[in-house]
Chain A
Amino acid sequence: MIALIRFRLAGYARSHRAIQPLIGLLPLLAILYATPIPAGEELGAMADSAGILLPVFAWAARGLLDSEPDEQRMISIAAHRRGELLSGLIAACVFDLGLTVIAELALLARLSADPGIGAIMVGVCLHLFSVLAGVALGALTSRPVLPSPAVSSLALILGYLAILLISASGARWLTVPVMSWMKDGHHDVLLGNLPLLAVQSLIWPLVGLAAYAWLRRTRP
């Protein structure tokens, strides 16, 4: 399994596709942190970062899963059966975690005051939720599920917009509560609401990944 994960990551990194999410990530970081983050705004900035980078994580996950040609995926399935699916998802998580490290380092470098270890851990948690949601969205829009690149790209964008709209509405429990992360972060209630937000933030990506696994049964 580890060898298969390494193969997926190597194939993605050596192809031009690995640069594509950086095209989204680096300008976003440049805009977000053009000015230093004022003292007291650390949690809000971390929540903004996690929410805004979700489509970048989804884009990277989709790119990684799609970088393997269909016939190579068949060869991998012959080698590892269900391990092929899991290795792709883990490889996508690993790559997205690399992007998270870049984003966190940029954020920490632009803080005006020391946020404390608690705030940093909350920021890390929110980014992990964002990575998980991004991987689920990327997987559900990857080629085995949506073979058309145009439909897939559109589905990814609309999927993110739907997450934003639903999480801003009264039915925010119906999706990953991205807008709640940001709102609570800026109103200093994020720490208190984190347990409930964590449950919602984990359930929906897991439902999405389960749906992906179910769809892949008939879509090798």
Chain B
Amino acid sequence: MTNLSFRYGRRNPWVLSDATLVLRPGDVTEILGPNGAGKSTLLRLLAGLLRVAEGTIEDRPSVVGYAPERFPAAQPFTVAAYLRHMAAIRGADPRRIGEWTERLGMDHLMGHRLPDLSKGSAHKVGLAQALLCEPGLLILDEPFAGLDTATRAELPTIIGEVAARGGIVVASDHQGELRTLPDLRRHEVRDRTIRELPGNTAQELPGNTAHGLPGNTAHDTAGVARGVPAQGVTALNDSGHRITTQDGIRPGESSRSVTVLEVAVTTSRAEELADRLRAEGHVVRVAREAAE
């Protein structure tokens, strides 16, 4: 992707301006950035869903799998019928449907109508249709949103397999679940440009999962960091979100010292601050605390 600029209309502001991004076969790339920065737009441009205003996207793999952030569940099909249609459209072997539904833990949903599915179940259908075609380019918009624990654990493995056979995977991931993958590349979309960030934190601490999980509190976070000598903790005694960062973790550096920094921030600014810290390469976990 070279010198790419995009806006949704002549009167609208530029979402991306003169942005360049190079992806190689086998790359797994995480797209970061605050809400509204243009992550989904970038993913759609890469998938070929939007027409580039200026610049070029070259050598896009011929088979593209796209899983949107919100799967369109308002369709008059059962899960099985929908996936059979998708397999036929993609020219995929319909026998592979069973393989993917089993791996994504959705075997029991096959007879359900799409509109009856919960958000997480519908999201699994979206992932399954994107994976059916063995994509050379797999675009995932917030792939972990709403997934159960087992599927969240399985998805990085699946993504790793796509990359291992030479596929390119690009995903936006607010939850930070992809950071368990080795050689993860990270790009931030901010101020209409794309900039590459320092690489993966492959040795990310175990259990570093999405916020909102049971027991995912600041105290638990401290527990996760057990065995890693903390250099200091700062805690602000204010209500709102508490953000804990573990700095300096790099592949092969898990035994080095880290600083666990607790920051209390008002709810409205929590996501923005978390994104900014993640963009700088820190591991961030968010724990909600009730206002006093």
List residues of A whose CB falls within 8 A of some B CB. Answer: 3-4, 6-7, 10-11, 14-15, 68-72, 74-81, 217-218, 220
Contact = CB atoms under 8 A, between A and B. Distances in A.
Given A6-B85, A220-B49, A11 B75 contact: yes
Contacts of B85: 3, 6-7, 10
Given A4-B89, A74-B68, A75-B68, A14 B51 contact: no
Given A74-B44, A79-B89, 6 more contacts: A7-B85, A10-B81, A11-B76, A74-B47, A79-B64, A220-B51
Scoring B48, B70, B72 by chain A CB atoms within 10 A of each residue's CB, the highest score goes to B72
Interface in B67-82: 68, 70-72, 74-77, 81
Contact of B68 (A3, A68, A71): A71
Given A76-B89, A78-B49, A217-B51, A71 B71 contact: yes
Given A11-B75, A69-B75, A77 B70 contact: no
Nearest to B85: A7
A4 B88 CA distance: 8
Contact of B66 (A11, A68, A74): A74
A194 B50 CA distance: 42
A77 B72 CA distance: 14
B28 interface: no
Interface of B: 44, 47-51, 64-66, 68, 70-72, 74-77, 81, 85-86, 88-91, 126, 129-130, 133, 139
Contact of A72 (B65, B75, B139): B75
Contacts of A71: 68, 70-72
A213 to B, nearest CB: 13
B49 A74 contact: yes
Contacts of B139: 78
Contact of A6 (B50, B71, B88): B88
Nearest to A87: B89
B89 A7 contact: yes
29 contacts: A4-B89, A6-B88, A7-B85, A7-B88, A10-B77, A10-B81, A10-B85, A11-B75, A11-B76, A14-B76, A14-B77, A15-B76, A68-B75, A70-B72, A71-B68, A72-B72, A72-B75, A74-B47, A74-B66, A74-B68, A75-B86, A75-B126, A75-B129, A78-B47, A78-B49, A79-B133, A217-B51, A220-B49, A220-B51
Contacts of A72: 72, 75
Contacts of B75: 11, 68-69, 72
Nearest to A78: B66
A14 B91 CA distance: 23
A40 B179 CA distance: 79
B217 to A, nearest CB: 35
B145 to A, nearest CB: 14
Given A71-B68, A81-B48, A217-B51, A3 B76 contact: no
A78 B48 contact: yes
A11 B129 contact: no
